[in-house]
Amino acid sequence: MTSKAIIQVKNLVAGYGDDIILDRISFEVYEGEIFGILGGSGCGKSTLLKHLIGLLNPLSGQIIIDGEDSTLCDETAFKQIIRKFGVLYQSAALLGSLTIAENVALPIKEFTDLPPPSIENLVKMKLSLVHLEGYENYLPSEVSGGMQKRAGLARAMALNPKILFFDEPSAGLDPIISAELDQLIKQINKNQGTTMVIVTHELMSIFQVAERVILLDKLSKGILEEGEPHYLKEHSRNAFVKQFFNRLIEPAA
Amino acid sequence: MNNQNASPISDYHITEDGAERVTLSLSGGMDVTNAARLIELFSSWIKARRPQALIVDLQGVHYLDDFGALVLLELKYLMDEGQRTFEIRNARPEIEPLIHFEGLEKRAPLIKNRPPGVPVRMGAAAIRIGADIKYMVSFIGSVFLALLYTCRHPRSLRRDDTLYYMQKTGVDAVPIVGLISFLLGVIIAFMSAAQLRQFSANHLVAMLVGMGMVKELGPIMTAIIVAGRSGSAFAAEIGTMRISDEIDALFTMGFDPTRFLVVPKIIASVVVVPLLTLFSDLFGILGGLFIGISMLDLTAGAYLTETIRSITLGDVLVSYVKSLVFAFLIAWIGCLRGFQVRGGAAAVGQATTSAVVSSIFLTIVADAVFAVIQRYW
């Protein structure tokens, strides 16, 4: 892929206090690709995501999103940066007191000057994109987990951000719904050119959607491998990478 | 198509030919950055000119997302309203799928769930109150069973939890209960002194403060503070456990949630709240003493003798028993509201509010019952 890098992570050191979780990691995510961040439990996937979306500040290093360093900029510039991405949280994180339509309408109302009837139409378009027609007036607690995820996706893409982050998108979903969500991710990526960054350990999803992945390692606190998932599965020389991709219990010989 | 290419619409052209046919030729990009402006611009233009037919030419549009599609949809609605012709031409193949407007052919506002009428709401409220009372009764039953079990098997009591709640409900509340009661004593003494001085009955301030604090205000004030501090905390804690399935987990592990969660809270409250009340009585009297000495020219000895003369041991015991009952009610209703939580974070908030309101209400009702009983004792 010859596209430019839309996210650049340079020598990122992340951790909590003295407890270092990621030690000097660097990678790039290119514009328009579906990028996977993988690793076993406790290797720092979620910590990395929290740093990418600005919820945590790195101990040192740089995170450059669409040309701007999110670790250095002031609050106004940071607000501009967060408008460039949407996040689908593991629990969908819909506001429980608002209906699904109101959840999706919330960012549109806040950040555009569209008149209310137009916002309603736009919300309908967004919800039909994630196949949730007819559920506009339901509260999040009244629909299933898969529907909550899709509504969360519609809210994350409400303002058509350049980048979408997904935290464990298939967690808690059955294989069929999870495959549907994967399809949706691919479809949106193809139609709108949105860059997707997916944090997961769900192998099926990775092979389905991810074009390139990094695999984090708990021991070295760094990146073990970087590349195309099918290729890594077959050709990686690293025993742990083989073990991970082939779902082996013992390290591969 | 890639939204990285998006740029605000660069140009538009309006050509009118004879029969009120208007062609709107757009070029550039249509997205979130210009949708609101374009809708306003073109809508007001259409409303002013009222063309019979509007043809939108998208030949020059290289980027269009759903915000751009929304602009076209709004124009379509406007034209459809007057049963006039609307047509989109020359859309690029990658834009084509976005402007089909499936399911959006007609403007249909999202129908908000309208609030039901008064009779329906009254009926629903009656059913809800009935169910609430039923649940209260069954919950008090299960609490008594759990307490009975704990009496028969004292080792089953979660001792660390009980001590923890004793600290949270009792020890941690001593400063605020002390301060509020002291101020209460000061206020009673101060207000009454102004009246009693006219009759040279300054020494009666001690009696007024003592009786007022011990018989009524000590237990009630303590109960209100405990309801606000601990009743709400119990409801929030159990409510949060409820929505995160922790209570279901306890149940499937073979624990009785009532015995596990409610009994330590009730026992802790029943033990420490009466002691807090004694503290409250004492600090109230100290507040009165402070005013007595500093403003009413009474000696500490005279004040305290008058206080001791006016309160009997019976009064203190009644105060103790009252606050024991209040403590039980507060802990019980706090836990009950926690268990009743259904749904999400908002429900926990409601349960907390409801725990405080219900426990203060029940405390006052119980106090009234005590007053009647004492009158006919």
B112 near A CB under 8 A: yes
Contact B104 A125 (CB under 8 A): yes
B18 near A CB under 8 A: no
What is the C-alpha separation between A202 and B146, in angstroms, rounded?
44
Residues of B in contact with A133 (CB under 8 A): 103
A193 closest CB neighbour out of B1, B74, B346: B1
For range B141-147, the mean pLDDT: 94
Residues of A in contact with B107 (CB under 8 A): 117, 121
What is the structure's pLDDT at A156? 92
Could you tell me what percent of chain A has a pLDDT over 90?
32
Give residue limits of the domains in chain B: 3-99, 131-376
By C-alpha distance, the chain B residue nearest A116 is B109
What is the structure's pLDDT at A2? 56
Q: Would you say residue B107 has pLDDT above 80?
A: no
pLDDT in tens, B296-334: 888 999 999 999 999 999 999 999 999 999 999 999 999
What is the C-alpha separation between B334 and B40, in angstroms, rounded?
54
Query: Domain A1-84+167-253, what fold?
Result: Rossmann fold (3.40.50)
Q: What is the number of H-type helices and E-type strands within chain A?
A: 9, 10
pLDDT bin (cut points 50, 70, 90) of residue B48 is confident
Model-level pTM?
0.75
Tell me, rounded to whole angstroms, the distance of Cα B257 from its chain centroid: 24
Report the amino acid identity of residue B153: H
Contact A96 B344 (CB under 8 A): yes
User: What is the assigned CATH class of domain B3-99?
Assistant: alpha beta
Q: Would you say residue B2 has pLDDT above 60?
A: no
How distant, in Å, are the alpha carbons of A167, A222, B23, B123 from that of A45? 9, 11, 53, 52
Sign for the CA dihedral angle at B139, B142, B146, B148 comes to positive
pLDDT in tens, A174-219: 888 888 888 888 988 888 889 999 998 888 888 889 999 999 988 8
Contact B109 A133 (CB under 8 A): no
Q: Would you say residue B17 has pLDDT above 80?
A: no
* ipTM of the prediction: 0.78
pLDDT in tens, A139-184: 888 898 889 999 999 999 999 899 999 998 887 788 888 888 888 8
Q: Is the separation of the CB atoms in A139 and A99 below 8 Å?
A: yes
Q: Hey, which residues does A10 pair with through a beta bridge?
A: A62
pLDDT in tens, B258-289: 999 999 999 999 999 999 999 999 999 999 99
For range A125-134, the mean pLDDT: 88
Residue B157: both structure tokens together: 């009591």
Q: Cβ contacts of residue B33 below 8 Å, gap of 6+?
A: B6, B8
Helix pair B263-295, B218-226: axis angle to 10 deg: 130
Residue B314 CB burial class (10 angstroms; 0-12, 13-18, ≥19): exposed
Give residue limits of the domains in chain A: 1-84+167-253, 92-160
Contact A160 B67 (CB under 8 A): yes
Q: Would you say residue A1 has pLDDT above 50?
A: no
Q: Would you say residue A134 has pLDDT above 80?
A: yes
pLDDT bin (cut points 50, 70, 90) of residue A72 is confident
Report the amino acid identity of residue A136: E
Q: Would you say residue A253 has pLDDT above 70?
A: no
What is the structure's pLDDT at B208? 92
